[in-house]
Structure 1
């Protein structure tokens, strides 16, 4: 029995320790040591491990001798000296059995070697290695021998293939039969095909097996329909083989195999105008289109691979066939990092139990990256994991409240930044679905959890709403993909205010052009300008009046307001008397609030109405002109004795 290389150490018949040799290409576990026919074309190499103890410097060389035996007799031997180092001894010594010796005859042989040491002591390898030389080819009994169907096909069609799979053949008897003979089959549409590789094989495990061989029915699908032939050769275990047999003709009528497959196409929605698959494409639906191929057959199925990930198998019912690519297939595992990439997309046509028919792949550009972290509902635009924004009126300064106090200042949104913000990413804010009405651009140094503020949401955007929970959201964008936050709900009261009459002035006006508040106005103005908020059915108990007065140093109420001329006062309808008679307001002191408009200036009075702290209305403005001039240079003041003409011209009589 052959021993595996280095499987043990033998002292042999001497004092040296010898190890079994290795014969490359011969199975060390084969008890017969069969030498494959491929090794019978050159000298047979044998690798002999270095023994021990090895020859030492100053010793005479060891002698390595090897032997080739048949029937116990040596038919070949040879020897070489093995010198002590230097040079270093090899791990294995290469010796050969010459080709002329190897191919002298077939049969059972033995190999062993011996080593004679520096003292003349000889050690033999024991046990010997058994080897088998087989140069006898299997032989057909008759060159016209050929296979025959166990069940003849009439013709070889789909029904026959289904009912006779694998297809059984009678194998003609041949000489040189032994265990593990293999039958190689060759299929062709030609009665005399060129030499080619086999299409299938079948092994006769025992030389006593019946001469019935089998081949899978699907192997015949490589042939064209019509007249076809099957040939065979017999190979023995060593690799020796017979001549090719004659061809067995038969009529083939199988469904033809799919012809050349067209490359797949991407058939997404109209958003795919940029030749880049993005999340909006995935939301709308991505499809891989399969166009017509030849020899389609009922039952064909298509399996699409996106970056190697399979989509669900789909029937090919007609052309074109569109295969939807689900998010889990196009995105891949959530643990896979996102990046702009080019992925291969291909498909296979599957027919029954045949091997799949593959298409070529096409490159597809994909970018699913985004600003902010991904979420389990992707590719949905709404990402409930994004922080929710808040809206703060710039004057009302209350979270998620906007009202008329914020006119005209507007409001800002604020939000905690999402994960891994990158410079240049943009947050866009939407007011009741309209927008963007404000933005924020991520800058270098911004970090997750940082509170950032949008640009101003203009009053013009917010005005005209009365809504206790108006939705405000934002989107994030990295220039390729967007995602949307959940809504913040804002209490908004910016709708149309109730209109109240202008406040009434409790002084007479003098002069031309509608009159002026002047030195001659009655009652005198030096101790305050009195105004009256007149009763109105729209007023209710508890309503608050915000009265306001401002002055200008020109004759047409044009800004700027004179600094210090402003006057603001609050009043409340506390009881029924207030509702019946109205409220009074006095603008004073004279020197600060009226005197600055002395030289043909102007003033404006108005008021706002709040109910429960919420602005519900505002009055019309009351505009007046101011003239505090005397007929001679100077301006009136408290304590002056004044003479007034019928036309309202004031003349100073005396002053304190």
Structure 2
């Protein structure tokens, strides 16, 4: 038969409302982090034999790791509201602590409580420091979350959490699906880890409804770990994921590009570049206003071209002259292959086009650098000086020069090379090309006759236009000089 004295053999252990229930494999008597950083209220149950009086007090003393913390005494019945002792915050150091109390009842007899093992854990979980981004299927990273993907994967997107330091039972992983434009986000949580699975990677499942509710566009997906004590880790590195739920561009791959100017003769030269050269994008379905076409010419990507809400196909995209020129190897010269391609970017998702055969490019030239290229008019080509064979007047032919070839004098451009050609235009008539010789180069000038028949056929004119172009047989590109105005009064006209 149990007596009252038997009930005093051992009192219940002390308690605190922020001590969590123990779990298998977890820390014993784990104190929730919300209790840290302040005094801890440790309570105890009223002992079964109590009769304090002024001459027979009762007293309780609390011990922390066998060291006394504080005590209370009563000379009157103990109120339930007074059954606690406050432990200073300085006692709450990380680790396990043994907490107990002793009661001296009115008879002076001490009675010990059971020992509470209390664990303080203020250390937050530490994510993988090398690469802690969520691990999504490659299909999601490369092609986004599409409507077809959700159908194929039972309306779910699963991501794996990289293992982290001190993964423990009771940890919960919280995933966040965030719109970076307005910061709106939705969260999901894993089930608490258990002693059976806490060493394994955690999988987070984002439902199709969550993704659709967040809407179309780029999303940043992160996570953090909340341990059982309520300590949160830092947030992981953001993993960009596209929610591409609207119909995708079609067909895939997209139609190949074309270069209309190359379609004419299979070649892009300097005269073509005046227009300018354009890359043509042919019609495809399901474009969006934010879609942008990125054309690559040779090794250079052009600035993105936004299609807009109602693109008018075909879409022609200009290739800047300097971009075109940068693709040409001037030391090699001649015709060279030029690759032209494009991709459609829907936010961060690329959609590639079919390969197109390379076009031929020839930008080789004769004569000095042209500050106004690709315009064939080169202001750095010396102008012609026309003289009559008899009168030898500058840029003026008179009756004395009748029946005589006019002489076109010009300083040779630099650099000039043997075999290059000069073609003079007398008004609208082209004179037979003149082939530059080594002697011309040594002399630095040439004098080219303009046949009398050409002068006669053009007739008199107070400001007859004369200029020349330079070229070679090795390339299709020619450049011309500025115009010289010649006063031609060489043909006698009777009144």
TM-score (ref. length: structure 1): 0.41
Match of 2:297 in 1: 306
Which of 481, 484, 491 aligns to 2:480? It is: 484
Measured after TM superposition, the shift of residue 165 of structure 1 is 6.4
Where does residue 339 of structure 2 map in the other structure? 344
Task: Give 2:316's match in structure 1, choosing from 296, 301, 322.
Answer: 322
Contact 1:260-1:294 at 8 Å conserved across structures: no
**What is the CA–CA distance in structure 1 between the aligned matches of 2:494 and 2:297, rounded to whole Å?**
63
CA contact (8 A) 1:418 1:449 kept: no
SS of 1:174's equivalent in the other structure is coil
Quote how far apart the aligned CAs of 1:173 are.
Answer: 1.8
Aligned to 1:262: 255
CA contact (8 A) 1:161 1:217 kept: no
Tell me if the contact between 1:265 and 1:290 (Cα under 8 Å) persists in the aligned partners.
yes
Task: Return closer, same or farther for 1:333/1:375 CA change in 2, 3 Å cut-off.
Answer: farther
- Structure with more of its chain in strand, by fraction: 1
Give 1:376 shift: 1.8
* Equivalent runs, 1:612-651 vs 2, <5 Å: none
Residue 209 of structure 1 is matched in structure 2 by: 232
Is the CA contact 2:188–2:206 (under 8 Å) kept in the aligned structure 1? Answer: no
* Aligned twin of 1:582: none
Instruction: Please give the alpha-carbon distance, in whole angstroms, between the structure 1 residues aligned to 2:483 and 2:443.
Output: 18
The aligned counterpart of 1:469 is 463
Q: Is the 8 A contact 2:364 2:477 kept in 1?
A: yes
Where do residues 154-233 of structure 1 align in structure 2 (5 Å cutoff)? 168-175=187-194, 202=222, 204=224, 207=227, 208-209=231-232, 218-221=241-244
- 1:254 Cα deviation (Å)? 3.4
Matched, 1:416 2:411: yes
1:293–1:444 Cα change, 3 Å: farther
Q: 2:372 aligns with which of 368, 373, 377?
A: 377
Structure 1's 336 and 188: CA in aligned 2 closer, same or farther, altered over 3 A?
farther
Quick one: distance in 2 between partners of 1:282 and 1:368?
9
Residues 407, 307 of structure 1: alpha-carbon distance in 2 compared, 3 angstrom cutoff: same
- SS for the counterpart of 1:288 is strand
1:286 alignment counterpart: 277
What is the CA deviation profile of residues 413-446 of structure 1, one whole-angstrom value per residue up to 9, with x for unaligned ones? 12111122233322111112x1213431123565
The equivalent residue for 1:429 is 424
How many residues get paired?
312
> In the alignment, is residue 407 of structure 1 matched against residue 402 of structure 2?
yes
* Aligned residues of 2:221 and 2:239 also touching (Cα < 8 A): no
Given the superposition, is the C-alpha separation of residues 285 and 148 from structure 1 closer, same or farther in structure 2, using an over 3 Å criterion?
A: closer
- Report the CA distance shift for 1:149/1:481 in structure 2 as closer, same or farther (over 3 A): closer
CA contact (8 A) 2:387 2:408 kept: yes
The aligned residue for residue 332 of structure 1 is 326
1:57-107 Cα offsets, whole Å, 9 max, x none, are xxxxxxxxxxxxxxxxxxxxxxxxxxxxxxxxxxxxxxxxxxxxxxxxxxx
Conserved 8 A contact 2:339-2:359: yes
CA deviation digits over 1:447-473, x for unaligned, max 9? 387111224332443456443432210
Partner deviation per Cα, 1:205-262 (whole Å, 9 max, x = no partner): 78532799897673443xxxxxxxxxxxxxxxxxxxxxxxxxxxxxxx4343563222
For residues 409 and 264 of structure 2, what CA distance do their matches in structure 1 show?
Answer: 35
In structure 2, how many angstroms separate the alpha carbons of the residues matched to 1:422 and 1:187?
71
CA change 1:147–1:481 in 2 (3 A) is same
Instruction: Give 1 or 2: higher helix fraction.
Output: 2
| Alignment gaps of 5+ in structure 1 | 1-133, 152-159, 190-198, 222-252, 500-656
Question: Could you tell me how far apart the structure 2 residues matched to 1:383 and 1:437 are?
Answer: 20
| Cα distance in 2, alignment partners of residues 483 and 180 from structure 1 | 75
Give the conservation status (yes or no) of the 8 Å contact 1:412–1:456: yes
User: By how many angstroms is 1:297 displaced?
Assistant: 1.9
How far apart in 1 are the matches of 2:249 and 2:205? 19
Deviation at 1:477, TM superposition (A): 1.5
Compared CA separation, residues 334 and 214, structure 1 to 2 (3 A):
closer
How far apart are 1:348 and its partner, in Å?
2.4
1:180 and 1:396 map into 2 onto residues whose CA distance is: 105
Aligned 8 A contact 1:440 1:455 in 2: no
| Cα distance change, pair 382–349 in 1 and its aligned pair in 2 (3 A) | same
After superposition, where does 1:437-448 map in structure 2 within 5 Å?
A: 437-444=431-438, 446-447=440-441
Gap change, CA 1:297 and 1:325, over 3 Å in 2: same
Task: Return the index of the structure with the highest Cα Rg.
Answer: 1
Asked whether the 8 Å contact 1:428–1:476 carries over to 2, the reply is yes
Q: Deviations over 1:470-525 (max 9, x none)?
A: 221001122410111011222210244226xxxxxxxxxxxxxxxxxxxxxxxxxx
The CA deviation string for residues 311-334 of structure 1, in whole angstroms up to 9 with x for no partner, is 332222132111111212212399
Which of the residues 380, 384, 388 maps onto 1:389? 384
